[in-house]
Structure 1
Amino acid sequence: MKIVVQVKLLPTSEQASALGATLRTVNEAACWVSTVAFERGVPREYELRTHTYPQLKERGLGAQVAQHVIKKVRDAYTALHANIRAGNLGKPGSKRRTKAGSKPIAFRPEAAQPYDDRCLSWQLDAQTVSLWTTAGRLKNIAFACSPDALETLRQYRRGESDLVVRGGAFYLTATCDIPEPEVYEPDGFVGVDFGIVNIATASTGYRAAGRGLNRYRARQLALRAKLQNKRTKSAKRRLKARARREQRHVRNTNHIIAKTIVTEAERTAHGIALEELKGIRQRVRLRKPQRVALHSWAFAQLGELVVYKARRAGVPLVHVDPAYTSQQCSECGHTDKRNRVDQGLFICRSCGVVAHADRNASRNIATRGAAAWTAGRESRVPATP
């Protein structure tokens, strides 16, 4: 299982200048390589290397760094074409899709740059790194991280690391390949229903209310609108300082919710059943006031965090079809659109059971999860002699 460990670099002023100049140089070179690739119809990496590698060396890039720049450009076009094929940039002929494919991919001056062990070395005991820059090899660049992150780097670091700059601070994100524990045989399943009013509702009774997070988002939206209307230098400075603050808050909330769900499932030796919600934004049609709430709903991020934490803990996890889970009675199985009285109330028209609507849906998801797990297990029937 691959995870990313991030450490914060603590360079001197001279080292920081060299790091900043390096990122600007390699990304300027990447923009040039992207132009060449676009003009030649985005050839394969080997062919693109023959057209650009000598010129990158003339620009002062090291051999390995030049290879990484070419690979970064080719990977960017691969991702773009995959998004176009998947329809993530709209239908054929749409304005967004046409714009994306009509010009070369551009790289920000401070975009991330990958490093491998040939141009980056770690001194974990001293908590320093040595890496290539346009000003030469920089040694003894201090970094800071938690003791757990340092131990993870020491045991499991594999592959490349990316040099990133955010808010004037430099970071290294290292790829670590950690072993996954063996998945145990579950004693039942915990169903999890995702929503906006309640971010997550588990069949065990745990419910993460979304009221506080929705209020926080509304305050941030109003504040951004107020600052944008001012159009002053100080307002723009405040907007820049507040950038990504809401994302960090939402991600932290999702981390807490995911950890609570996975810990409870692990404690009770249960598995986890999640809804398969891919494509929900394309399927659902809402009125304009409701679209902001739907499109700021980080259900995909929460689902990914639950999957990631479950894999690290060895907790079984399955995805199920969420169709009619909010209309089906978890006691008798009767399905009727009228069973869902309102957002929070479920009353079965067949057996009369009264329940919280999200709790009822989570129980249906748990039942479907158990069925999916049983159907997906290997057959234990002895082979025919």
Structure 2
Amino acid sequence: MSLLSVKCKLIPDASTAEKLSRTVNQFANACNYALQVARRDNIWNKFALQRAVYADLRAEYGLSANLAIRAIARVGKRKGHKAGGFKATSVDYDQRILSVNVDTETVSLSTVDGRVKVPMRIAGYQRHLLRTAKSIQGGQLVRGRDSSWYIHLWCEYDDPPVLDPQGMLGVDLGIVNIATDSDGETYSGKHLNSVRHRHRRLRKKLQKKGTKGAKRRLKKLSGKETRFSNHVNHTLSKRIVAKAQRTERALALEDLQGIRERVRLRRPQRATLHSWAFFDLGQKLRYKAERAGVPLVFVDPRNTSRQCPACGHAERANRPTQALFRCVACGYSGAADYVAAVNIAVRGWAAVNRPYLGEASRVSLHGSVPGSPRL
């Protein structure tokens, strides 16, 4: 079974919006109280924490039984976080306190003021996802920055037949080019980077100005850039997964966890790296591959752009420029991003055709946590 979150916009009237707002606020307050108790008494077991705070959450914060349980479950996931609390932005729901009617486009939710029915706006693709889901396991009510409301529905689907790969499509994620695959196809990031640079310059100008109007413009600008980046990543991930499925190949990506802490860059390059939504693109590739039955492999990223695919020699001098690869041992040359994609494909193919060798191999399939693959 696989889970997919389907996001729909809610259209509550003023009275219902007030009930939703009170519920989000009380849910956050309850979570923060339970978190305080958990930290004070070092209680992180879900059932032990429930015995300690359940009655208080019901009496002091007006939560229903199931909302109180969801608040406790959310707090249990905070073990190890030494600071910070919960903001009043969302509420978790399970099947008993949330139900959806796709035909009438409404969702029924429990609130601190009782059950409410809220109209939804369901687009064509969302309707398809909701109708083809085996079940809806619950969801999350989310309050947007501009007081808009959304419901993220957790839909369960049967796993599709997994493709028996006849090869490997390696994909190198980058900044100048968003992605380059081992067939030599390049997905240019020129337009995306130009938009980000323009927004960065405008943000700097507005932050320096500091007026109320400038702050309103900054808020609007932030949402616009996020939506644009999200659209680009959706489009790109869809193309890559479709290509792998059509050519009956698995996908191989670099395991880029912690890249921001590992790499050392000059000051002008840092803002570009930190605004690059590679994690979001990786997540979209992950769930789209799983939905399509395309195996997805994560490989060790070390020296993928410095290792010669012809002779295997790896050295920093093999990269005379950012864009060019030239092996100092055998003379093989080519575009650096393409060379990296080929090396990723080779490592991915080796990974799915050898026994699992433990954490060092850094391999996972279908979005599993690296170190616990399904081979």
TM-score range, shorter chain: 0.7 to 0.9
Matched position secondary structure for 1:243: helix
Matches within 5 A, 1:310-349: 310-349=289-328
- How does 1:48-87 map onto structure 2 within 5 Å? 48-59=49-60, 60-75=62-77, 77-78=78-79, 81=80
What is the CA–CA distance in structure 2 between the aligned matches of 1:374 and 1:187, rounded to whole Å? 11
For the residues of structure 1 that align with 2:166 and 2:295, how far apart are their CA atoms?
A: 10
Do the aligned partners of 2:172 and 2:181 also contact (CA within 8 Å) in 1? yes
Ranges in structure 2 where 5+ consecutive residues have no aligned partner: 357-375
TM-score, structure 1 as length reference: 0.84
- CA distance in structure 2 between the aligned counterparts of 1:134 and 1:16, rounded to whole angstroms: 12
Correspondence for 1:91:
none
**Separation in 1, partners of 2:289, 2:44:** 40
> Partner letter of residue 12 of structure 2?
P
Deviations 1:253-275 (A, max 9, x none): 12222122111111111222212
The offset of 1:350, in angstroms, is 4.2
**Aligned pair 1:258/2:237, yes or no?**
yes
8 A contact 1:190–1:271 mirrored in 2: yes
Matched-pair contact (CA < 8 Å) for 1:157–1:174:
no
- Name the amino acid aligned to 1:146: A
Q: 8 Å contact 1:184–1:315 — kept in the other structure?
A: yes
Q: State the alpha-carbon separation in 2 of the partners of residues 7 and 349 from structure 1.
A: 54
CA 1:130–1:229 in 2, change beyond 3 Å: closer, same or farther? same
1:109-188 to structure 2, matched below 5 A, reads 109=88, 111-139=89-117, 141-154=118-131, 155-166=133-144, 167-188=146-167
Percentage of pairs with the same residue:
41
The AA in structure 1 aligned to 2:93 is Y
Distance change in 2, residues 1:119/1:184 (3 Å): closer
1:106 and 2:108 equivalent?
no
| CA RMSD between the two structures | 2.2
Match of residue 180 from structure 2: 201
Does structure 2 retain, via aligned residues, the 8 Å contact 1:31–1:106? Answer: yes
User: The residue matched to 1:242 in structure 2 has which SS?
Assistant: helix
Matched residue of 2:159: which SS? Answer: coil
Out of 287, 296, 300, the position equivalent to 1:308 is 287
Cα 1:336–1:242, aligned 2, differ >3 Å: closer, same or farther? closer
1:348-382 Cα distance to aligned partner (Å, 9 max, x none) = 344433321211221222222222222149xxxxx
Structure 2 match to 1:213: 192
Residue 335 to residue 65, structure 1, CA distance change in 2 (3 Å):
closer
Report the equivalent of 2:11: 10
Alpha-carbon shift at residue 164 of structure 1 (Å): 0.8
Amino acid at match of 2:137: G
Structure 1 residue 204: deviation in Å? 1.2
| Residues 209-248 of structure 1 aligned to structure 2 (within 5 Å) | 209-248=188-227
SS state at 2:276 partner: coil
Which residue is equivalent to 1:24?
25
| SS at structure 2 position matched to 1:61 | coil
Cα deviation for residue 314 of structure 1 reads: 1.4
Corresponding residue SS for 2:35 = helix
> What amino acid is aligned across from residue 39 of structure 2 in structure 1?
F
Aligned partner of residue 354 in structure 2, secondary structure:
helix
The amino acid across from 1:163 in the alignment is L
Aligned residue type for 1:64: N
Aligned to 2:137, the other structure's residue is in SS state strand
Matched, 1:273 2:273: no
Q: Distance in 2 between matches of 1:73 and 1:132?
A: 20
Q: 1:5–1:175: 8 Å Cα contact kept in structure 2?
A: yes
> Residues 8-66 of structure 1, C-alpha deviation per residue, up to 9 Å, x if partnerless?
11112211122112212222232233333333233533232233222222233222222
- 1:5 CA displacement: 0.8
Q: 1:5 to 1:157 in 2, by over 3 A?
A: farther
Residues 337 and 5 (structure 1), Cα distance of their counterparts in 2 relative to 1, 3 Å cut: same
d(CA) in 1 for partners of 2:35 and 2:326?
59
Q: Deviations over 1:289-318 (max 9, x none)?
A: 222222222222222222221111112222
Q: How far apart, in 2, do the equivalents of 1:188 and 1:221 lie?
A: 41
CA offset digits 1:93-122 (Å, max 9, x no partner)? xxxxxxx44xxx43223x211122322222
| TM-score of the two chains, using structure 2 as the length reference | 0.86
Conservation of the 8 A alpha-carbon contact between 2:98 and 2:138: no
How many residues align? The count is 352
1:152 deviation in Å?
A: 2.6
| Partner deviation per Cα, 1:73-110 (whole Å, 9 max, x = no partner) | 222x22xx1xx6xxxxxxxxxxxxxxx44xxx43223x
**Alpha-carbon distance between aligned partners in 2 of 1:324 and 1:52, rounded to the nearest angstrom:** 51
Q: Which aligned runs of 4 or more in structure 1 are off by greater than 6 angstroms?
A: none
Q: Aligned equivalents of 1:177 and 1:221: distance in 2?
A: 39
Paired with 1:316 and 1:108, the residues of 2 have a C-alpha distance of: 37
What are the ranges of 5 or more consecutive residues in structure 1 without an aligned counterpart?
85-99, 378-385
